[in-house]
Amino acid sequence: MRHRIGIDVGGTFTDFLLVNELGDFEIYKKPTTPSDPAIGVFEGLQAMADDTGLSLAEFLESVDLIVHGTTVTTNALLTRSGAKTALLTTAGFRDALEMRRGIREEQFDNNFAAPAPLVRRKLRIGLSERVTAGGEVLKTVDRTELEEVIRAIQEQDVGAVAVCLLHSYANPENERLVGEYVRETAPHLYVTVSDELLPAVRFYDRVSTTVLNSYVGPILSRYLSALTQRLTEHSFHGTLLIMQSNGGVTSPSDASKRAAVTLLSGPAAGPVAGIAYGEQEDAHDTITVDMGGTSFDVSLVRGATPLMMTEGTIDRLRCGLPMVAIHTIGAGGGSIAYVDDMGLLRVGPESAGANPGPACYSLGGDRPTVTDADVVLGYLNPGYFLGGAMTLSGEAAQAAIARELSAPLGVSDIEAAAGIYRIVNAHMADGIREVSVKRGYDPREFVLVVAGGAGPVHAAVLADELEMRRILIPRESSVFCATGMLLSDLRHDYVQSINHSIAADDSSALEPTYKAACALIDTGATQLESEGIPGERITHLLNLDVRYRGQYHEISVPVELDTLAGKGHYTIAERFGLSHDQAYGYSLQPDWLAGDAQIEIINVRCTSIGVTRKPHVQVRSVTCRGREAVRERRPVYNSFTGEMEPTEVWDGHALSEGYTLEGPAVVELATTTIVVPQNFTLRCDTNFLLTRT
């Protein structure tokens, strides 16, 4: 029997989805091992092997594909534990990394300081070279100076070098010379050249992204090298792919070179899974939420396409690589609740994580968390956590809440736990508003797709707060991102800055754009073919970053290659005008036609997609239809009445397709729990569908 595996390393648990060639699947969850994530990965693989009655080597021989989402780069950045990095840039511009865009993020807070740059000033070195914005080389690189610089940075015991010279997007000659020389003379150093990663305008964005890549690159490269070697030693001969922030996958070698593409590796698979599950319910507009142990990730999908961004930040550091637009807040099952100096109850963003974990885990954690509150409120069954593989301590959860919250606040344990529940729900509702209301979308028009082991416990209350009627809960909810990874295609994003104007009376205005697009398509096709994707499964999506002359921000406009090849400047101008009107409320299309306004194309972007073969997940059929699926009645907190009330608890695995039950109720599955409040109906189908009545 052949297998495929999706692996998502989260802050608290590492999730696994095992699918065989018949579509049968199994879900596995193992505690994440922050010191070495590979330990948790192999613990999960060993559990799969044990369940199949095979040795680890025999089992891995049967695995054709592993898709791995990793938090290695994210953790290295958040904890500032990346490689000691040097920056080689144009003389006079080494402080651009610290000056950023010169804009205070919080304009009215004089105490709001910018984050410290990842490269110390003495390791930011200016080179005597210069290229103009038009691509003319005014001064070539001084080889003698470069030799001295390399000797100096090696004496500083750096592990990585970022090379980013001014205007290299227009002419990379000097920058490539510097990169080649560093690699020749110091082959042990990890080197990132901005022309190879992000050949685009805006110097701060480019230098910040290049530095990010070098800072986390050695960490990821070592991890993937060790993981690949260990898999090979255990007879894995299939394909290993790495999840990227753009919602696609790539090879370990490519991820090692462009490590910054994995900074949102795990969460980016969520919208991919959300699209697939939404289509099962004929829902193409969805808001996907994933509540894990540490964070709450939100993304919006419109027309079965996730919102993307090309100017994002990771821990307030600029990253100019395309990534799925995901809003993340510190609200997960492990989020710690506490009483602040003003005597107010707070929840998060600090998390107990996997170690020591919530108090109810009995692994050393003694501070109350959201999971502890869910246990005290009766939502979680202490004896059936992870299907009974892990037993929770209700006594420890209640003791932590009593000591840290109930006593200081002068309330009962139930009231304190309910306060945690309400506060974390309010935080998550605000997170959903960030990706919807603040971008001009009405959440009531979307289906809420809920993921994460903790998500279905809180989903109905979130939907009620936002007046969303439909909630889709996949049966694989707890391993949602791992599922999305197996559904992802190979994807590579390319950009080339061109910066030229198009006029209504110039039919040849698109020639430079067409040439740049063809070059990017060729690059993408070559990369995908090298990764084993045949030509018939390769597609290319083109976008242009367009603005009116004098504007600072651009709008991305989709375009076809045929449009660029012909007299398509009218089509581009019309699409840009419509998008501009939608975004800003006006369009200068008539002025452009009259020659009184100018349109500029700043960047050509190409997304090259290699379509992978998707596994078919076969939902198990059951014969139980009715009240024999009721396991027990236990006291459960009713968030609408504010009381603990006897509530029926159902076995989710025994509910067959088509069965409907009314709330209040609790439906237990091995790796998640669905809370069905009053005024909600749960329909059991291929997935679970909660409807607000």
pLDDT digits (tens, 9 = 90+) for 630-641: 889 999 999 888
The whole-number pLDDT of residue 240 equals 94
Kindly state the average pLDDT of the residues 375-391. Answer: 90
pLDDT of residue 620: 54
Q: How far apart are CA 616 and CA 280, in angstroms?
A: 13
Place of tokens 């199994």: 26
pLDDT at res. 625: 60
Confidence at residue 218, expressed as pLDDT on a 0 to 100 scale: 96
Q: Specify if 474 maps to a domain.
A: no
Residues 497 and 577 in one domain: yes
Residues 642 and 675 reside in one and the same domain: yes
- The neighbour count for residue 258, using CB atoms within 10 Å, is 21
- As a whole number, the mean pLDDT across the chain is 90
Same domain for 560 and 651, yes or no, is: no
User: Among 307-316, 377-386, 404-413, 444-453, which stretch is predicted with the lowest mean pLDDT?
Assistant: 307-316
Check pLDDT > 60 for residue 44: yes
Is the pLDDT confidence value at 623 over 70? no
Please indicate, yes or no, whether residues 605 and 500 belong to a single structural domain of this protein.
yes
Tell whether 606 and 631 lie within a shared domain: no
Which of 610, 644, 665 is at the close of a domain?
610
Contact 378, 644 (CB under 8 A): yes
Q: State which residues form the domain around 645.
A: 627-692
Q: Residue 618 pLDDT more than 70?
A: no
Distance (Å) of CA 164 to CA 52, 122, 139, 167, 657: 51, 16, 16, 9, 57
Regarding whether 595 and 499 lie in a shared domain, the answer is yes
Q: Is residue 448 assigned to a domain? A: no
- What confidence score (pLDDT) does residue 525 get? 95
- Band of the pLDDT at 617, cuts 50, 70, 90? low
Answer yes or no: is 519 within a domain: yes
Q: Is 481 helix (H, G, I), strand (E, B) or coil?
A: helix
Tell me what percent of the residues of the chain surpass a pLDDT of 70: 98
Cα of 649 vs its chain's centroid, Å: 34
Distance in angstroms (rounded) separating the CA atoms of residues 460 and 470 = 9
Distance separating alpha carbons of residues 546 and 576, to the nearest angstrom: 7
pLDDT in tens, 223-277: 999 999 999 999 999 999 999 999 999 999 999 999 999 998 878 888 988 898 8
- What CATH number is attached to the domain comprising 32? 3.30.420.40
Structure tokens at 135: 């691509």
Please determine, for residue 26, whether its predicted confidence score (pLDDT) is greater than 90: no
Please check whether residue 413 lies inside any domain of the structure.
yes
Given pLDDT bands bounded at 50, 70 and 90, which one contains residue 501? confident
For residue range 130-174, what is the model confidence (pLDDT) as tens digits?
999 989 999 999 999 999 999 999 999 999 999 999 999 999 999
Predicted model pTM? 0.85
CB burial of 401-426 (b: ≥16 within 10 Å; e: otherwise) equals: bbebbbeeeeeebbebbbbbbbbbbe
Using the 3D structure, point to which of 417, 436, 469 is the last residue of a domain.
417
In tens, the pLDDT along 547-592 reads 998 888 899 999 999 999 877 888 999 999 998 988 788 999 888 8
The answer on 398 and 344 residing in a single domain is yes
Residues 528 and 577 in one domain: yes
Per the structure, how many domains does the chain have? Answer: 4
Domain membership of residue 639 (yes or no) is yes
* H helices present in 164-250, as ranges: 173-185, 194-197, 203-233
- What CATH number is given to the structural domain containing 602? 3.30.1490
Same domain, 495 and 603: yes
With respect to residue 510, please indicate whether it lies within any of the assigned structural domains.
Answer: yes
Answer whether residue 191 is part of any domain: no
Q: Is the pLDDT of residue 108 over 90?
A: no
For residues 522 and 582, membership in a common domain is answered with yes
User: Mind listing the pLDDT tens digit for each residue in 476-497?
Assistant: 777 888 888 998 999 999 999 9
Model confidence at 443, pLDDT cuts 50, 70, 90, reads very high
Rounded to 5 degrees, φ, ψ at 395 are: -65, -40
**502 & 598 share domain:** yes
Task: Identify whether 581 is part of a domain.
Answer: yes
Confidence of residue 328 (pLDDT cuts 50, 70, 90): confident
Q: With 70 as the cut, is the pLDDT of residue 652 above it?
A: yes
Percentage of the chain with pLDDT > 90?
Answer: 60
573 and 646 in a common domain? no
d(CA 585, CA 294): 39
